[in-house]
Amino acid sequence: MSRDTMRRTAAEFFGTFWLTFGGCGAAVLAAGFPSLGIGFLGVSLAFGLSVLTMAYAVGHVSGGHFNPAVTVGLWSAGRCANHHVLPYIVAQLIGAIVAAGILYMIASGKAGWVPGGFAANGYGELSPGKYSLAACFVTEILLTLFFIFIIIGTTSKGAAVGFAGIPIGLALTLIHLISIPVTNTSVNPARSTGPALFAGGQFVGQLWLFWLAPLIGAVIGGLVARWMYESGDNAEASRAARTP
């Protein structure tokens, strides 16, 4: 493995670790704490802030994916080289699992603590609002699609340089505000896998949806964004070439 690939995968590991530890940590440690009670809004902000902060910390190293769906979506848009896809996804998965393991160790240090769902995702009886499989599937596809669309749009030619981390972080916050009651919000297979492994049982059995739906949404979002932004860039280049 080259030094560049090692740096890139390390950035993806740290970014996904921070996203999982920060977002799921807010849900597990703080959301239900009587004197704090940050609730859905606080957890949503925690996920958004985790992506925003790491986008600026290591985004310039790896592109700041921190999510297998983002990697696949950017690949489908022609924004991620083939040889980066698998190493990125492996690093993201390891980062999320390590973060969930450390979070479990911290949370279990409180007397009488019960893991419950441990910030895992679910549908049907495991959905926070008891939403059906179909409703959860559509939600995850649609929100991942728009997340990829926003990521590509804010990093495309003509977008404000250096500010992409802000709308991307806010987009993830909005996504959580919409879908925490539905699926507990995935749009990120790695983030789903880490907590599910520690929640166990049915949560592991439902992981398939939180891989399949985000990946479908990511590919669609990447292809739509590629058509929109590449077409615009090509049209602009053609006009410039015809200008005397």
Higher per-residue confidence, 229 vs 102: 102
pLDDT value at position 28?
94
**Of the candidates 102, 71, 85, 98, which has an alpha carbon nearest to the alpha carbon of residue 187?**
71
State yes or no: pLDDT of 241 exceeds 60.
Answer: no
Per the rule left: phi > 0, alpha: psi between -120 and 50, beta: everything else, 80 is beta
Given this model, what pLDDT does residue 236 score?
45
HEC string of 77-136 equals CCCCCHHHHHHHHHHHHHHHHHHHHHHHHHHCCCCCCCCCCCCCCCCHHHCCCCCCHHHH
Residue 47 is encoded by which pair of tokens? 């996920």
Give the angle subtended at the CA of 104 by the CAs of 174 and 27, to the nearest 5°: 25
Across 197-226, average pLDDT: 97
**C-alpha distance from residue 112 to each of 27, 103, 108, 125, 175 (Å):** 17, 16, 8, 24, 32
What is the helix (H) or strand (E) element at residue 173, kind and residue range? helix 165-183
- DSSP 8-state code for residue 185: -
Q: What is the percent of the chain where pLDDT is above 70?
A: 93
pLDDT at 239: 36
Q: Residue 73 and residue 35: Cα distance in Å, rounded?
A: 40
Question: pLDDT over 90 for what percent of the chain?
Answer: 83
Neighbour tally for 239: CB within 10 Å? 9
CB–CB of 19/58 below 8 Å? no
Give the single-character DSSP code of 120: -
**Do residues 93 and 239 touch, judged by C-beta distance below 8 A?**
no
Residue 242 makes CB contacts below 8 A (sequence gap 6+) with: none
Name the residue with higher pLDDT: 234 or 83.
83
- The pLDDT tens digits for 159-196 are 887 899 999 999 999 999 999 999 999 999 999 999 99
One-letter amino acid for residue 211 of the chain: W
Q: What is the pLDDT of residues 17-73, one digit of tens each?
A: 999 999 999 999 988 676 667 889 999 999 999 999 999 999 999 999 999 999 999
pLDDT band at residue 234 using 50, 70 and 90 as cut-offs: very low
In the predicted structure, residue 244 carries a pLDDT above the cut 50: no
Mean pLDDT of the chain: 92
Please give the residue range of the domain that contains residue 21.
3-242
10 Å CB burial of residue 101 (0-12, 13-18, 19+) is middle
Q: Domain count of the chain?
A: 1
SS (H, E, C) 190-232: HHHHHHHHHHCCHHHHCHHHHHHHHHHHHHHHHHHHHHHHHHH
pLDDT at position 38 is 85
Dig out the tokens for 227 from the structure.
């058509």
Separation CA 117–CA 198 (nearest Å) = 9
Question: In this structure, are residues 183 and 136 in contact, taking their beta carbons and an 8 Å threshold?
Answer: yes
The pLDDT confidence band at residue 231, using thresholds 50, 70 and 90, is low
* Predicted pLDDT of residue 122: 98
| CATH classification of the domain holding 176 | 1.20.1080.10
